[in-house]
Amino acid sequence: MPSDSFDVIVAGAGLAGSLAAAVAAKNGLKVALLDRNKDDEVGKKTNWGWVCGDAVADSHIQYIKSKLDISFDYPELDVKVDGVLVLSPDLEYKVPFEGSGYVLNRPAFEYKLMKYAVKCGAEYMPQFEVEGPIIENNYFVGVFGKDKGMQHREIRAKVVIDALGVATTLRRKLPENPYVDKVVDISDVESTGRYIYDFDVDHQDERFYDPKNALIHLNQEWAPGGYGWVFPKKGTRVNIGIGVQRQSLEIRNMKMNKKDTLHTLMDQYVQNNPVIKNPRLFNDNNNGKGYWSVAVRRQLDCLTFNGYLGAGDSMAMPNPISAGGIGPALISGIMAGEQAVRSIQSGDVSVSGMWRYNLEYNQEYGKKTAGLEVFRTWMQSLNNDTINYGMKVFLTAKEAEDISYGRIPELSITSKAKMIIQGVSNMNAFNNLRYVVKKMKVLNDIYENYPKSIEGFTKWREMVKAEMEEAKSKFQPNPM
């Protein structure tokens, strides 16, 4: 094999990429792992750093451990949390979400995964800027880009794994095809930003800072179409930020006669936190402040093309209601690596030959996300008063938690049809919730029946599209 020829190219050494490379290399394949960052900055998403809330459920860490001989500890697991708590805008109700987990030291976590991939035999190529795919006969057969010395370079492989994150250049340069979408709708993308701060505790108030829990604030004024978060780190350090939907922000500004931006809202969010006194940017690795985007829709309908597998944010995998993309990236990275091994062994790297990856990801995580996308769209159509009322009256904490896992609390919702709801807008919101829950069930059933082979895909996709379009046309962003 020539030196620039590999079995697998993994583009992007973030979470999904390093794990995909580790799995493929561990199974004896010749693997190139490319990332634009320097060795000691592996996984850095942008010049702004490793921009993320860094909260991950323990179940996702356990998933990696069940698949690979790797263990995790401090410092990469910065702090353990009992769970994620979602607070209503009036701060009176708290709903648990996703169970216990960790807030990561992201640079350390990424470095550990990359080192593990290298230990498994992957060749890591830092400072390689991937510029596009090499496509022959409608198959991905490699990538081109600029290497460490800024030289144009082409690298070839039987399979290319796209783990370049949300701004992936590879997916955008796919040939026209009926499987993988090249573009994600802007209304399904959150603009996000966060700081990492050391601070003095002004006084205890667990609605604003809880060293044992990751807090999420739903509030259409503070973070229109998204939410704010305060995630504890070691000592009195926090990862604090907000995500907003662009259209919701515009509406909110218009109705409030304001000109806020993501940046001004982030600063207000910190300033308005009464527990955080004297915040000091914790800027190790130049990672104290940053902005980036996260897609909050169902993962792309198909995750593979001829010679191509996508994993993590490149496939819009973050959870539509929490924007949690670390778990999906870890899961899909491992599965994409496994699929590359199977397809190369069988000699079939066509879409059809790699179809099993779609099925496995769908079964492990993906099947709940279309329903959650509908739930998210409904949430974005509610103002603070309705969210307050809904969190108090519509759902028990257990039911809300069930929804976060994609489970449908069917019976209790039906029984609540008899309860007395005050106000027309609350009644409308409740009726809409019943519609949403029904639609979630329909979508979950459709995803349970994800096509076993490529043949059924077009028809299946039309069904999904019809359901999504109907649901989304019902709810428009309406933060105020």
Instruction: Report the residue number, 239 or 444, with the smaller CB distance to ligand FAD.
Output: 239
7, 21, 26, 43: which one contacts ligand FAD (CB under 6 A)? Answer: 43
Give the CB-nearest residue to ligand FAD.
325
Six-digit token string for 461: 């996709």
* 51 makes contact with ligand FAD (CB under 6 A): yes
* 440 makes contact with ligand FAD (CB under 6 A): no
Selected range binding ligand FAD among 161-169, 352-360, 402-410, 443-451, rule: CB under 6 A: 161-169
* 301 makes contact with ligand FAD (CB under 6 A): no
Burial 216-231 (b: 16+ CB within 10 A, else e): bbbbbbbbbbbbbbbb
Tell which residue, 18, 53, 54, has the closest CA to residue 35: 18
44, 112, 289, 416: which one contacts ligand FAD (CB under 6 A)? Answer: 44
What are the E-state strand segments in 246-325? 276-281, 289-295, 304-305, 308-310
Rounded to an integer, what distance in angstroms lies between the CA atom of residue 31 and that of residue 387? 49
Residues in 362-421 that interact with ligand FAD by CB under 6 A: none
6, 7, 8, 14: which one contacts ligand FAD (CB under 6 A)? Answer: 14
Instruction: Check residue 382 and report its DSSP letter.
Output: -
Instruction: Report the residue number, 330 or 437, with the smaller CB distance to ligand FAD.
Output: 330
- What is the separation, in whole angstroms, between the first and last Cα of the chain? 61
Residues in 164-183 that interact with ligand FAD by CB under 6 A: 164-165, 169
Rounded to an integer, what distance in angstroms lies between the CA atom of residue 226 and that of residue 212? 23
Q: Is the dihedral of CA 44, 240, 245, 367 positive or negative?
A: positive
9, 10, 15, 316: which one contacts ligand FAD (CB under 6 A)? Answer: 15
* Nearest approach, Cβ of residue 428 and ligand FAD (Å): 32
Selected range binding ligand FAD among 45-53, 66-74, 381-389, 415-423, rule: CB under 6 A: 45-53
Tell which residue, 170, 181, 189, 373, has the closest CA to residue 293: 189
Residue 36 near residue 125 (C-beta atoms within 8 A)? no
Residue 96: is the preceding peptide bond cis (ω within 30°)?
A: no
* 12 makes contact with ligand FAD (CB under 6 A): yes
Instruction: Report the residue number, 103 or 454, with the smaller CB distance to ligand FAD.
Output: 103
What does the binding site for ligand FAD look like in residue numbers (CB under 6 A)? 12-17, 34-37, 43-45, 51-56, 128-130, 163-165, 169, 192, 194, 241, 292, 294, 312-313, 318, 323-327, 329
